[in-house]
Structure 1
Amino acid sequence: MQNTKTFTGYDTVIDLSDDDAEITHVGRGTPCGEYLRRYWQPIYLEDQLDDLPKLIKVLGEELVLFRDKSGDTGLLHKHCAHRGASLEYGIIADHGLVCCYHGWNFAVDGSLIKAGSEPENSPIHKKVVQGAYPTHEFGGIIFAYLGPTESIPAFPVFDTLEDKNLERIPFVVTTHCNWLQVFENTQDPIHVLHLHARSSGVQFGVASGVDQIIDYENTPLGMINVQTRQVEDHVWVRTTETILPNMNQGGAIWEEAESEKFFQRSAFTRWMVPVDNFETMTIGWRIFSKELDPRDQGDRKKIGVEAIDFVGQTKDERGYEESQRYPGDYEAQVSQRPIAIHKMENPAMSDRGVMKVRRLLRNQIRALKGKQEPSQYIQNGRGTISTYQQDTVVRAVLDEENKQSYSKALVKHILNSKDETEEKRRVDLELHCRELLSKLN
């Protein structure tokens, strides 16, 4: 039914005053900022940290990151606790960082090692502490915990990071808008069909432009979207994973669903970390194997600082006119305004995943406001965190009803297999798929 009211520009009220601060504002003391601070966050690439301190901003807070001469990594408040000079101009010491102004030496935990020219027995050594946060280095990325020390969780290692045969290359790219616009995109699978296949031509695999049946499921970590496609004589079921509070895992970039595969894992694991309310860094790993990239379409040389090897993810990779003709994720996300105004949106059925992400976040944030600490990740028997992203392709031709039945049963099996090893999950899923198809055919 066509809306008969047209040319409504003058009558449309544009009210930018309500930017849904509960789930968009990330500074210290804000509901969302406090929630994000309860988890380890990636903040920097290890190989970019050299013999100089680095001034960074995370969750709206300016901090100084450094590695001292003993190899320990520190993350301190920007301004020296003595007289406020910025520690970005500090001097790397054998242990900790020395303020350039009066020579006060702070350890990586913020304790005062030496107060410049003050006597060694001065009580000031026990009195003054520089604000500091714990750090952890893993897989070429530096992580930090910016929350209350009494709530520090164990550092999480996810099962997709277990396989030593995979090549993982760290990267970080900046998106100049609020973090939620970047994060909720992970549960907007319909945009893959339009933005990445029809609006801009095929940006990823040709198969991604095939119409899909879309569903959503909760997981112990957050949620997945389930995309089921009939690609010629193969049925392809992809689950794309959102892990709360701000993590995402996705499948092979150029998947064409031409041959059978079962429980093929992620081609990228990444976090959408707010710099502040208006800027986001997406930081994580691009993951390579012969199975994930059989045609060698990925380009390892294009991965790193402000660089990733698939189109439309950064500001400067293309000129303005080209980005108008072939927009990507960056243009779609940034152009929603610095912070998208949710009250001005008109959500439809295809936005169910985005609405679900917002609802999950809001529930967790409100629970924390009610003094209930957020749920942390539970380890499996191998000491890692079981996750649920995967691609499965089988040779079959199914009608719409059977495709839905098949994908629902497949996903249920995946969710119930969390305590198994990666190999057993793959083998068992193949057996389960064969059994399902035998019943449907």
Structure 2
Amino acid sequence: MLKKADNQILTQVGEGTPMGNLLRRFWMPVLLEEEICDPDGPPVRVRILGEDLVAFKNTDGKIGIIDAHCPHRRAGMFFGRNEECGLRCVYHGWKFDVDGNCVDMPSEPEETDFKQKVKIKSYPALEKAGAVWIYMGPPELKPEFPDFEWAHLPKERLIVTKRLTECNWVQALEGGLDSSHISYLHRNLEDLKPQAIKKKDNLSVNYAANDRHPVFFIDETKYGHRISARRNANADDYYWRITQFMVPFHTLIPPQIKTGRDSDKHSYAGHVWLPIDDEKCWTFSFNCNPSRELDEQEQEIYHPRTGMWGPIDENYIPLANKANDYLISREVQKDYNYTGITGIPNQDAAVQESMGLICDRTNERLGTSDKAIIAFRKRLLKMAKELEKGIEPSEASMNDAYNIRSATYLANKEISITDGSEWLTKIK
């Protein structure tokens, strides 16, 4: 249960709100590189944290993200001409560079210096790891880009996707912190049968099906939380899933393992839950293998349009969505899987979006399996309230602390959780 006032702080992200101010202190992905790939190409609409913006790549290949409206008469810059290192408003020809400077004002007399007095709102942007990122906080506090492991990988080892999620960012992100729901929401009915649990070809499925009430351990770290879910594997071993939460909206999901006692060679996925406004968010997924190129099967699984995070349309809207009940089949639910919905992200979306655009957390009843969610809320609320008092988030400047990974592994029951999880989640 959460107080109404705290729920509002947690979920409201507009300009000037406590959480909106906090999120603006961090680099955020807003577009895939494929959306803005050509210099002097068409401008792209961007809505983030309740602000309407326009992104463009200038003649020199630099990214500009500026106000969606010209400061002259508020005409839409989306219709502008992207040419000669600037975006020109088609109403009166005013032209702006990537830093928001007015570099041409042909509707004014040449002798006037008016263009020197006019700027359009602009934000720093960069291309990194298959996405375009933006920083919207105070210029003097702009941090270095976080040292994510996947941000250094060649394109052969990384696939980046995004999809629209039709609810507030908090309830979407909280689904990524919840390791207990995999024993139910994402299960095939066959996996729950005793004979299936004895299979040896997919350890992750076996252990999640065999022990459906994991024990959680939450370690507070300088980057966020290390969330360890422990299940019984056999008489000697525990099965561990280590999820990472990185302040303020990043999660790393543990990989599935089919053989062996660790997950060093297995691919894993990270998510960024990026608020569009208070009622919608983008779910960015960074799918990678740090030690090798993604194989043909993985490329098919992670395909941006048709893979496991899809299928999606040309606007990154899932084809299975709230309007069509996520294409639920009651026959499939009866005979094949737990939900009757095909696809892990569609199953997640169905339950997350069913809570409403903004979940009313005053009516919740949280249990022991919700430790990670409780810890997340406390930390974000504390950070937002401290920022209101003038205390800047130290996490924003700890870029090297984000160089971690998630993990899935077996460990002898004598191994302590701290030794096991820290060792396996450090970047070697």
- The question of a shared fold, defined as TM-score above 0.5 by the shorter chain, is answered with yes
| Residue equivalent to 2:408 | 391
Q: Does 1:244 find its partner at 2:250?
A: no
SS at match of 1:126: helix
Q: CA deviation at 1:267?
A: 1.2
Distance 2:281 2:71 in 1: 28
Q: Which deviates further from its counterpart, 357-366 or 192-201?
A: 192-201
Superposed, 1:94-243 pairs within 5 Å as: 94-164=84-154, 167-197=157-187, 205-207=204-206, 208-211=208-211, 212-231=214-233, 235-243=238-246
Q: Does 1:332 find its partner at 2:342?
A: no
Alpha-carbon RMSD: 3.1
SS at match of 1:28: coil
Distance 2:190 2:13 in 1: 33
Q: 1:36 aligns with which of 17, 23, 27?
A: 23
Paired residues of 1:246 and 1:271 also in contact (CA < 8 A): yes
Encode CA deviations 1:130-180: one digit per residue, 9 max, x unaligned. 111110111220000011112111122223444559610111111100000
SS at match of 1:169: strand
SS at match of 2:91: coil
Scaled by the length of structure 1, what TM-score is found?
Answer: 0.79
Q: CA deviation at 1:199?
A: 7.7
Distance 2:227 2:30 in 1: 27
Distance 1:370 1:81 in 2: 32
Letter in 1 for 2:367: A
Letter in 2 for 1:342: R
| Residue equivalent to 1:378 | 398
In structure 1, list runs of 5 or more residues that go unmatched. Answer: 1-15, 424-441
Distance 1:361 1:199 in 2: 37
User: Given the superposition, is the C-alpha separation of residues 18 and 31 from structure 1 closer, same or farther in structure 2, using an over 3 Å criterion?
Assistant: closer
Paired residues of 1:166 and 1:289 also in contact (CA < 8 A): no
Scaled by the length of structure 2, what TM-score is found?
Answer: 0.81
Encode CA deviations 1:181-218: one digit per residue, 9 max, x unaligned. 0112222111112212278978x952333323322111
Distance 1:311 1:103 in 2: 41
Q: CA deviation at 1:407?
A: 3.1
Distance 1:45 1:322 in 2: 29
| Residue equivalent to 1:286 | 287
Paired residues of 1:227 and 1:237 also in contact (CA < 8 A): yes
SS at match of 2:137: coil
Q: Does 1:367 find its partner at 2:367?
A: no
User: Given the superposition, is the C-alpha separation of residues 312 and 18 from structure 1 closer, same or farther in structure 2, using an over 3 Å criterion?
Assistant: farther
Distance 2:232 2:35 in 1: 44
SS at match of 1:214: strand
SS at match of 2:298: coil
Encode CA deviations 1:353-404: one digit per residue, 9 max, x unaligned. 1111100100110110011111124255xxx74325223335x5x5xxx4xx
Distance 2:283 2:407 in 1: 21
Q: 1:54 aligns with which of 44, 49, 63?
A: 44
Q: 1:343 aligns with which of 358, 362, 375?
A: 362
User: Given the superposition, is the C-alpha separation of residues 293 and 217 from structure 1 closer, same or farther in structure 2, using an over 3 Å criterion?
Assistant: farther
Q: Which deviates further from its counterpart, 83-92 or 282-291?
A: 282-291
User: Given the superposition, is the C-alpha separation of residues 299 and 412 from structure 1 closer, same or farther in structure 2, using an over 3 Å criterion?
Assistant: closer
Q: CA deviation at 1:352?
A: 1.3
Percent sequence identity over matched residues? 26
User: Given the superposition, is the C-alpha separation of residues 122 and 183 from structure 1 closer, same or farther in structure 2, using an over 3 Å criterion?
Assistant: same
SS at match of 1:372: coil
Distance 1:230 1:291 in 2: 31
User: Given the superposition, is the C-alpha separation of residues 130 and 312 from structure 1 closer, same or farther in structure 2, using an over 3 Å criterion?
Assistant: closer
Letter in 2 for 1:356: A
Distance 1:28 1:55 in 2: 18
| Residue equivalent to 1:435 | none
Distance 1:393 1:377 in 2: 34
Letter in 2 for 1:303: H
Distance 1:355 1:300 in 2: 36
Letter in 1 for 2:421: V
Distance 1:37 1:209 in 2: 40
Encode CA deviations 1:269-322: one digit per residue, 9 max, x unaligned. 22100000000101142114788988x6534376326x6525899742476352
Q: CA deviation at 1:116?
A: 2.2
Encode CA deviations 1:394-429: one digit per residue, 9 max, x unaligned. 5x5x5xxx4xx54343135458xx5xxx33xxxxxx
